[in-house]
Structure 1
């Protein structure tokens, strides 16, 4: 959090109109002091012995206390602020796309076990560090291809990341300009302030002008370049000069992959700073922390003095209670929360604090009940909630949940329903395409398995004199087949996808 006392201001300044009211009440003190027993039926000679504060004595009077409480309440309600309110997970909010170079040189082992494996390991750790944030994946060599749009599903991201290999793209080269242009198009659909990270061990000098042009065209996207490999090892070493030229052309910071936690800190710090700069440039993007609640404590102390015996303005405690009752209640306040917050409000607060199981129990709204159960990993409960919704969002999350439950045909049908309600909706189109291609690849793999018979008859003439003997072939369970297909299919799917995209583009990338 940044503290800037020079930026002190009030979030709701119209509440300051009560300050003149407080001044008026204090001014009325003179009338109360002059005639303390004006409306009393007690003999004036007895009043000095019955009043706690006799006329002329020093010290605060009830009207003083009331004026002070009104003034403090007005300032608290006005919302004094001087501290920016930024979430602690700001670096996880910033969208990020990682572009991995699949050139042949990425197979060198100067960074064990290989440069590509080191890059994939960094991508996996980065996704874990940014849990809950959206991270996308691009692969490029002589051409650039989108592997996965930004997603917060770390398991799906890791599945496709581990399928990357240097033989997935037939075209040779380093199309960094194409990767930047593709990243800019994908991030345009996300929140402003996205970052593109290039994990590469070299650059094409002929592409520097195109890299500079594409980087300048991506107004709100930041480019980072991280060198993968060691220098000073002859032909196997990386070209440090080419990488510096690439970073300069892209206007990007240049880092070196070390395999340690500093790599992740470097990436997340740059992503966070860029996201903050872009967000702050937008109107109304800066949020301030309301510090008015600190005045509740002095107001509570003032309320204690308001109940002293003999004080005429005892109802001032009600004013403090009314002001303090406006303070937010914690979602765990039990009976107090039930008294002041609806179940959906309690569920929303629990959801925002990451207590998804508790949020799912509170929510009555089916969409948010399903969202909470989905985030908590209770996919059957999420499916039950989403299935009762006849909306595009409901069917979309039915598809996501069915995918989690490995019911891919049902997921496709749900995405189709979402698109029938909301045609061309990009999230549904993208997710449906991923599931459809994955299902197709799995189907092709199953057909290949079925081409080999479960049993083979072989003739062993030496042992049985020509007698036919059946040799059983071990059969994998359905779960093992699915896991094996799921491991093999992404690579086959990506190879076919990249080849089809290259063919559609023509001779040049």
Structure 2
């Protein structure tokens, strides 16, 4: 059943205006003074009736015309069309300061708490693109890679604190370097780095300037702190003291922060209780907004209001009467400029938008002429020009570009190279599920091809072995027949010699001649018995080989079942154990499972262990943190 609806239903309120217009025309015609006194009686009936007949259709047609125009504006829709979804190609990294100076209480309740709140506000603000999270103290660690899932970041941010960091310090340069690695690995040549910190040392300002000069990333700084400062209130009680026993009071110097933000083409935002100043970050991102095609599609309603113009235009011309003919003649006599196909599109759209509309209209030849490698490659891919699509996608080294290259290579039959491209795409964006899914499919295809080739080789080898065995058997049978014939000839010769030497033994000759026939039949039987024994021996060997193969297959199946049993999750193991438990023990197990589910998931322990493991690896490979370090 077709679902009918209006795309812009609010426009239907204009029908009230149309109804009021109709009432006004009807009441106005009744209030007009009668002209019967000025016209002769025999002419009044003819003139006035004809005039009313002429005016009545005009009222109805004008009302109908306005009603049709209102319905067309409301956008009636009878069907839907699948169109690709486009998402914003923007990336940003939140770099949060986790030094112990964030425990300072000059901003209630603490700088750390307010930094968490502002980071959550930023995550809610960034509805498009991808966002990553980095925390730094004496070294920087990735809390979350680039992702479009804001819920993941919302769950991780409240768990950040200086206590879970492997070491203490404030190494801003390490945090910026870690952010740069995340952006470059994901294929973003440009992006935003948002630093949430309470200050930068003067000695580290030069290092940060050098980093900004060597990278094309924009740096925004959100300063959380005051110039007066406050003591560092440690979680275990007391205040942080320096080596001389003096209470440490960290202050925020906004001058180096302002200079670094200007050098990074960004903004310096000071702490505010409200989130009003965060809109500056969103406006600057929209200036660099780019669109990339997503793997999803959505249903878009088709506006059928344009078809109502087939009724509106003739009705309008009918109401205009002779004036419509004059207007049409005037338009025909006007000089017409040269018309160029699709010239009007360039007045309102850029080249990429025109190519996109051509791709959506399945004009792949026109769409493939664009300079955008994504649209051009997609158009050539739809035309089954996979080599041309691969050449177009080759200039895009992002995760999406590598994924598209893998698809083109898979269509060309280059499965190994396609798997390599999928792997590179997953390294840059581990959350690209389509790349992982296509990689698994291509690996299965390659495995099937290998199995088919191996089966073909095995069939050729088996056929050759069968031919050789048949030839050996034939040769062996021919040799045995020749030997039996030679033996028979020798025995016949001996008997002839005996008959010639002893002619008196005629009875014996008859007996010997009669005994030759059994020897020939016995030789034939011995030959058939030997051939049967050989066939039985071969059949026995084949049966033994089949038994050995079936035994190996059974052993492999048992091993697979054991592995699957070992890989079963805890819920399946509990279910298996529950079948062997008594009803009371089963009830206790269910209660325990319910209690375990009520325990909230706290990622703090996982983050601490993850960063400690990463710190050990860096120490093992002697990856020392860069920049200036301090104990707080």
Q: TM-score, normalised by structure 2?
A: 0.37
The structure carrying a bigger helix percent of its residues is 2
Q: TM-score, normalised by structure 1?
A: 0.45
Q: Which has more radius of gyration?
A: 2
- Could you say which structure has the greater relative contact order, defined with CA pairs below 8 angstroms and 6 or more residues apart? 2
